[in-house]
A = this chain, B = another copy of it.
Amino acid sequence: MVVVMAPEATQEDVNAIVQLVQAAGGEAFVSRGVSRTIVGLVGDVDEFGALNLRSRAGVVDVVRISVPYKLVSREHHRNRSVIRVGGVPIGPDTMTVIAGPCAVETAEQTLTAARMAKAAGASLLRGGAFKPRTSPYAYQGLGEAGLKILAEVSAETGLPVVTEVIDPASVELVASYADMLQVGTRNMQNFALLQAVGSAAKPVLLKRGMSATVEEWLMAAEYIAQRGNLDIVLCERGIRTFETGTRNTLDISAVPVAQRLSHLPVIVDPSHSGGRRDLVVPLTRAAIAVGADGVIIDIHPEPKLALCDGDQALVDSDIRELASVAAHLPPLVGRTLPPPGPAQPGAGAAPARAATAVS
């Protein structure tokens, strides 16, 4: 941490800072320039944070140097992590495809979408039972009935399930059906929810907030990690900018940037980034090429009838193209595609648990 003094700061002002820092158990190094003096602090940054140095006489700025997250930082955990979801790995050696319908509508639609997902190379099934929607008049999801459909389709296809949770109160319910809990972009700083999934015994997919910096995203992950759950996968899904040609602006650079700062896997959502079906395959290619650890894609058997985000869902004719990309591109960046669903017979664990939970 560095304290920048004003040009008019007095010797007393500087001394006061030094004493405060020392009283807090730190060390302070003074660099006196022609027009300004700066003070370098060494010690516990959290302690210094409580000193409100910015409000002290003669201080114009306080510049933080170390990262404000610890458990998810790569600083003390050089190797990148592998997270397993119902046995399927997400990490530095694989390129994991998660696919399925934006919203679960019927058992049939979900099963058909899951089969399309599998054909496209997916090893995990996505699908929303609880939908956070900007308008209260938009489709809000099937709730627990949707979770049951997901569990059944998972049992049928062998694909573990990723689904969103939007409320601390329903974390336990969702966790009883799902293999991975998704926290959506609008909830990235819903701290009560972060703490709740941090206490759940399931891996978490944390979408980046639509106006969150990479640092804030990692601090949101830190909230989950702090409760003891380090099975976190980060998902870049586009940020909000002035550009209106796409629904959001995919921040493709965020993938290598976050991977450098954190040991957690980072995947990309090409469907919600662009918000346009014609961009999904190109953005998937870009995501694989940049080094993402996976992608999560909207698929719908009949987008024209979709109750949610039909404009961005892939249809049958796109599946072959996606399958080809998923098969050919990952090896070029040193990655393999995980097999669809867990290999061992006992893989049905998650659906089994779900079945128990709902009986």
* Chain A residues packing against B (C-beta within 8 Å): 2, 4, 7, 27, 29-36, 38, 40-43, 46, 49-50, 52, 54-56, 61, 63, 65-66, 68-69, 75, 132-138, 166-169, 186-187, 189-193, 210-211, 213-216, 219, 222-223, 226, 239-246, 249-257, 260, 273-274, 277-279, 282-283, 285-291, 303-307, 310-311, 328-329, 332-333
Contacts and interface: CB of A to CB of B under 8 A. Distances in A.
A243 B246 CA distance: 15
Contacts of A34: 42-43
A225 B288 CA distance: 36
Contacts of A287: 286
Contact of A55 (B69, B190, B311): B311
A196 to B, nearest CB: 9
Copies in the complex: 4
Contact of A303 (B52, B189, B249, B251): B52
Given A40-B31, A251-B249, A332-B332, A192 B169 contact: yes
B289 A136 contact: no
Given A190-B187, A243-B251, A257-B245, A168 B166 contact: no
Contact of A241 (B36, B239, B283): B239
Contact of A186 (B190, B244, B283): B190
B137 A46 contact: yes
Q: Which of A55, A216, A306 has the most CB of B within 10 A?
A: A55
Contact of A42 (B32, B61, B223): B32
A289 B285 contact: yes
A325 to B, nearest CB: 9
Q: Helix, strand, loop or mixed for chain A's interface? A: mixed
Contacts of A132: 189, 191
A136 B220 CA distance: 8
B210 A211 contact: yes
B306 A52 contact: yes
A192 B166 contact: yes
A135 B68 contact: yes
A66 B7 CA distance: 10
A169 B50 CA distance: 30
Contacts of A31: 27, 29, 40-42
